[in-house]
Amino acid sequence: MIAPDFPNFGHSASPDRSTFDYTFANFADLMDGLIGQLGVDRCALYCFDYGAPTAYRLALKGPERVSALIVQNGNAYEEGLSEFWDPIKAYWAEKTDEHRQAIAFILKPETVKLQYTQGVHDLTRLDPDMWTHDDTQLSRPGNADIQLDLFYDYGSNVTLYPEFQAFFRDHQPPTLVIWGQNDSIFPPDGAHPYRRDLPSAEFHLLDTGHFVLEDKLDIAAPMIHDFLDRSIGRS
C-alpha cells in the first residue's frame, strides 16, 4: 500500500505559497511522479475527500493503470455538492477577500471536530486525537491561507467532473462505493450517481458520517479486503 500525504498535510513538506501553487493539478502531478519513481504500472485507487479528484485526475493521465476504485465519500458529481458548499461556490464565482474570509470558519477547531462527529451515533468510538492532530496542523503559520487556496481550487475539479464520469463509463474499473450516509460535506446524493456510470459497482451506505474508517472500520475493512481480493485477482 502506498499512502502519501499531499504537500502541507501530515508530515510532508509545506512549501511557501509563493514558491508552490497549492492546486489539485499539482497534487496529481506529484502523485503521478511518485508512482512512476516507484515503478508502479497498475494500482487500485482509494478515493476519499480531496483524494478523490486527485485520484481521478491521476486516472485520466493513465486509465490503463487503474485496476480498481474504492470510493469513500469522494465526490465526482454536482449532485453531491451540498449546501455546505454554497459559500465556497460563491468564492469560486467571485474571488474576493470577502468570500474568502466567509469560508474561514471551516478551519475553526469546533468545525474540524464537527466533521468527525457529525452523523456518528456513538462518539466513544472516535479517538479525540484525530481532530486534535488536525487542529495542531492547521494552526501552523501560513496553513490557513493554504487551505483557503485549496478550497478555491476545488472548483477546478468540478469543471472536470464530466471527464471523470466519462472515465467511469468508458473503462468500467471494478468499483466499491462505501459511503457514510450521514455526511453533510459529501452526502449520499453524490454516491448514488456512481451507479449510473458504473452499473456493476458494489454499493454500500453505512450509518455514519464523513470519516467512515474512524467509526466503522470493523465493517468497512472486511468489505474492502474482500473487494480487492476479488477484483484485483481478475484484473
Instruction: From the candidates 121, 192, 204, 210, give the one annotated as an active-site residue.
Output: 210
**CA dist., res. 138 & res. 125, Å (int):** 24
Asked whether the beta carbons of 147 and 175 are under 8 A apart, the reply is no
The question of whether 210 is a catalytic residue gets the answer yes
Largest Cα separation within the chain, whole Å, is: 52
Residues β-bridged to residue 180? 206
Which cell numbers in the block locate residue 48? 476519499
Full DSSP string of 47-88: E-TTHHHHHHHHHHH-GGGEEEEEESS---SGGG--GGGHHH
Tell me the catalytic residues: 210
